[in-house]
A and B are shown apart, each in its own frame.
Chain A
Amino acid sequence: MYKMPKYFHSVMLDPDKCKGCTNCIKHCPTEAIRVREGRARIIEERCIDCGECIRICPNRAKLAITDPLERLSEYNYTIALPAPSLYAQFGPRVMPHHILGALLDTGFDDYYEVAVGAEIVSNALRRYLGQKSHPRPLISSACPAVVRLMQVRFPGLLEHIVMIDTPMEISARLAREKAIRERGLKSEEIGIFFITPCPAKVTAIKQPFGDRSYVDGAISMSTIYGEILNRLESPRTKLATSRSPARGVGWGKTGGENHAIKDHSLLAVDGIHNVINVLEEIERGGLGDIDYVEAQACTGGCIGGPLVPQNPFVSRVRMENLLKKLSAREEQFPDTVDDDFCLLTKPIEPRPALKLSDDIDRAISMLEEVEQITSILPGLDCGSCGSPNCRALAEDIVRGYAETSYCIFKLREKLQQLAREIVDLSHMQPPAMGREPAKSGKEGANNESLE
């Protein structure tokens, strides 16, 4: 079903662990999962790698493909790009320079804090929002799950996305340029690895929105967490210098992006289903009074990512306390770059994964069929058929990926009808049977005449 290996996905299924329950299909924001033959199947072109299914799966059958630390050996020179959310994963006294020191001890040759890139992007955004020619409200490009959600479900709003690249990409480019400049390295000798809180970023690296990604790999925060934790204790680990600008670090949690932009009328929304509600409102022509929408797929922002080890409510406090300490420090100016440096190279294209048919006449008659089938389904949205709700089942039936009998209620109805028919049939008799008990007179006469 829905076969098309056109897209890379970080989110995958472990078929051995999947029990075929219906938890994930009901939480997927793009209705991208079906259960078939007792296993969840992900519909490639619809999946946005948000990781909601990873979070919800009780059997840990959904996983994110990330790069192993062994990949560092492929390069002569490696640079770690820690996401700001990494700083909130440790105890209250652990500061960024401890964590960065531990990263170097893990095997990286250098690091470039994404918080620094975030600071640069914040400055570029502030000026970008000042230009009145852009549609309102503008929408952040930072969360790749939100951007892909829009490609699939809100293509009409893609022009609202700011044409500014993400802190991760900006940081990678600056880190690469620095290594080339200061170390005399060739670009291909340098391996840049993002320490990621989510699968969405992994996909953004392997299948970027722009022409290319400047990041070479992504290492899961939960994979490297233990490595860092051990080294924090080790006397061998040296402290590293951290620039960690408070405003850039704040990007790791909800509202941080807006806080860093400061000026203008700004809205922050987190949690993919809340994001959908806000996008629907914009789509209806609303929120024209808002300049910028910071939208993050994960509740709490990146610290709520599916690959972070710490409880997001704990890490929120840790981050808030860290931000207080960092903002008390002297203001540090990040690398100065031209605003043009931050611009995305090409517009983000829609991903029409929902249409029933390429032929519009056919699609309309299929839609009619969907409506008709939906009206006879029970409307309980139980998910036992393997589709997320009755309407989705109707769509699947019309697309040829399911049958009405997948609905256990319709199946029961059919069985009842069949049972009644069987009873009715059992009362019927072939002509050779069912003779009334013999009446001696007349039949006797017949017999006689044959003699």
Chain B
Amino acid sequence: MKLEFVIEGMDFTRAGEAAAKIKKALQLVGMEVETVRKSVIVAYEAEMNIVIHARSGTLTARVYPDRVEIEAADEGPGIPDISLALQEGYSTAPPHIREMGFGAGMGLPNIQRSSDELHIDSKVGIGTKLTSTIMNRTSGV
């Protein structure tokens, strides 16, 4: 099962819609509460990264009984130093974005915290592809 959304850069008014739809779908499937919680955070932050940094991109959620995979692929500036970007508080967002309350440098760290597996491939000047896996662990096990 695959859900795919096209995300436009700088479209703040619609930001969060894809994450909301992914959440709804995961609830319909009956994913564990914790799986839904983490997936929403990953989807939202990944969606925001495209909105803030990239020209455009796609957000894809693949739903399996034992896990959710969220993939964000964009055409954008790329990330020169991924380990730096994973540090809390590190941000390359321009001042006008920060004034809107975004770009606090918590996006990727939040994604990492909520992911069981995380891969980031990035080429400077071309784009970034992020793949996060969230395991659907039965509660109480």
Residue B28 is within 8 A (CB to CB) of chain A in the complex = yes
Which 3 A-B pairs rank lowest in CB-CB distance, beginning with the nearest? A355-B30, A156-B37, A284-B44
Kindly state the separation between the CA atoms of A366 and B1 in the bound complex, as whole angstroms.
10
Contact between chains at B19 and A284 (CB < 8 Å): yes
The residues in A between 325 and 354 inclusive whose CB is less than 8 angstroms from any CB of B are: 350, 352, 354
Closest Cβ of chain A: how far from B113's Cβ, in Å? Answer: 9
By a CB distance below 8 angstroms, the chain B residues around A285 are 41, 44-45, 110
| Size bin of chain A's contact surface | 20 to 34
**Interface-side segment among A3-11, A15-23, A356-364:** A356-364
Q: A156-B33, A360-B29, A363-B29 are in contact. List 11 more A-B contacts (CB 8 A).
A: A283-B40, A284-B44, A285-B44, A355-B27, A355-B30, A356-B28, A360-B31, A363-B30, A364-B29, A364-B63, A364-B65
Contact call A360/B28, Cβ cutoff below 8 A = no
CB < 8 Å: which of A156, A350, A367 contacts B28? A367
Q: Does residue B7 face the partner (Cβ distance < 8 Å to A)?
A: no
Over the window 364-382 of chain A, the binary record of Cβ atoms lying under 8 Å from chain B Cβ atoms (1 yes, 0 no) is: 1111101100000000000
Query: How many Å from the CB of A406 to the closest CB on chain B?
Result: 19
CA distance A366 to B20 in the complex (A): 19
Is the CB–CB distance between B33 and A361 below 8 Å? Answer: no
The range of chain B's interface size is: 20 to 34
A189 at interface by CB-CB < 8 Å: no
Determine whether B16 belongs to the interface, using a CB cutoff of 8 Å to chain A: yes
B25 in contact (CB, < 8 A): yes
Q: How far is the CA of A227 from the CA of B120 in the complex (A)?
A: 69
Q: Which residue of A lies closest to B41 (CB)?
A: A285
- The proximity string for B residues 36-52 relative to A, scoring 1 for CB distances below 8 Å and 0 otherwise, is 11001100110000000
The listed residue with most A CB atoms (<10 A of its CB), out of B23, B29, B36, is B29
A368 CB contacts on chain B under 8 angstroms:
1
CA–CA, A363 and B28, complex, Å:
7
**A271 lies within 8 A of chain B by Cβ:** no
How many Å from the CB of B110 to the closest CB on chain A?
6
Q: List 16 A-B contacts (CB under 8 A).
A: A155-B33, A155-B36, A156-B33, A156-B34, A283-B23, A284-B40, A355-B27, A355-B28, A355-B29, A356-B28, A356-B29, A357-B30, A361-B65, A363-B29, A364-B1, A367-B63
